[in-house]
Amino acid sequence: MKPSYIDIKDFDYLLPEDKIAKYPLEQRSLSKLLYYHQGKIGHEKFTNLPELLPEKCMLVFNNTRVIEARLNFKKVTGADIEVFLLNPAHHENATSVLEAKGESIWECMIGNKKRWKEGDVLIMKGKGSSLTARWKDRENDIVQFEYSGDQSLQEVIQGSGSLPIPPYLNRSTETIDLTRYQTIFAQLKGSVAAPTAALHFDEHMYKKLAQKGIKCEYLTLHVGAGTFKPVSTDNAIDHIMHKEYMIFSKEFIQRLVEHEGPLIAVGTTSLRSLESLYWFGVGLKKGVLQRFHIDQYFPYENESEITYQESLMIVLGWIEKNQVGFLEGTSSIYIVPGYQLKGLHGIITNFHQPQSTLLLLIAALVGEDWKRIYNEALENNYRFLSYGDSSLLLF
């Protein structure tokens, strides 16, 4: 059942500016690691993660890749217009749209919008191509892009755009961000923000995980700018959750079904994806879903007693019936206190902003202990947010 009222002020805490990590550490795996299990809190190094993980567990990562979504145009009058790519306007899969040639239409965020009038055409010259932007729907910030030459949009923005780092860093993108704001396994292009929990993993960590017999699997969720959007309603339930695109291979789902040990999400995006996958199976069983889209309130309006494996078997049956090799679609799943996890035993995650949907998710997993966890982190000088330290929360 959907909670009727959650006061967002109950999920506030004082985050001093000097606790926000403005830059990554010299090495990815050198961060601190807060360890939470059965109500107890400990302080470790991230390099000790393999020893802290349960035996025979599986880690699930998000292999999305951040694109050069920030495009800076200059009008002939001299006015600067920033066009920030969010989502393809008429297609869910950003990866395929980025590979298109000639033109594409995107939902965007516009900086200095008042200076970009209806009918104005913006042009940006790049290497081997030029990028033209014009309004498709000014009221709803829909922009049509055209690009010359034989390049895809991805190739054009790679030479003309810049990698977007989180707005709370209050600085411009620098050379170090080009590698460190991507995971080492980033693959499918489409995100405008990194799955930051996985930024701590390097090749040495992967070797240690393999030595411990810990499995690593990958799904894709293209992270949207909505991940930074604060909850602006007094009642957190009234917040409109952003929609994000997800991809699961058939083989990945099969391995989930066969796995018998604990399942641990690396990051909130992986957790939201894995829980969305369960609810798709529920929707198929109930006959209320024909395609993969999970509305933000779907879990609260469709209680189910089937197990995680049972749900995934239903999803595999749907994949077989439709003769596809992977499952793709969208989810706006909204995980808040009162939500009951269906398939997860833990999460590796960074420390999140006050009054954010991500903090609500953490509170859903550990209850009121989120306050102890965050107080401990602040008192022990943990670094917060995207480039900050990590935590392992087991439940």
pLDDT per position as a tens digit, 329-360: 999 999 999 999 999 999 999 999 999 999 99
For residues 222 and 94, is the Cβ–Cβ distance under 8 A? yes
- 3-class SS string, 74-110: ECCCCCEEEEEEEEECCCCCHHHHHCCECEEEEEEEE
pLDDT surpasses 80 at 89:
yes
**Do the domain assignments include residue 191?**
yes
> What domain count does the chain have?
2
Shared-domain flag, residues 74 and 51: no
**Do the domain assignments include residue 315?**
yes
The lowest-confidence range among 125-129, 152-156, 377-381 is 125-129
From start to end of 251-318, where are the E strands? 263-266, 293-294
Boundary-marking domain end, from 106, 127, 162: 162
Q: Using CA atoms, how far apart are residues 282 and 302, in angstroms rounded to an integer?
A: 8
How high is the mean pLDDT of the chain?
96
pLDDT tens-digit readout, 16-39? 999 999 999 999 999 999 999 999
- Domain of residue 125, residue span: 69-162
Q: Using CA atoms, how far apart are residues 117 and 123, in angstroms rounded to an integer?
A: 14
Q: What is the CATH number of the domain that holds 101?
A: 2.40.10.240
- pLDDT above 90 covers a percentage of the chain that reads 92
**Do the domain assignments include residue 279?**
yes
Q: What is the CATH number of the domain that holds 313?
A: 3.40.1780.10
Residue 162: per-residue pLDDT: 96
Shared-domain flag, residues 275 and 343: yes
pTM confidence score = 0.96
pLDDT tens-digit readout, 9-21? 999 999 999 999 9
Shared-domain flag, residues 283 and 217: yes
pLDDT tens-digit readout, 198-225? 999 999 999 999 999 999 999 999 999 8
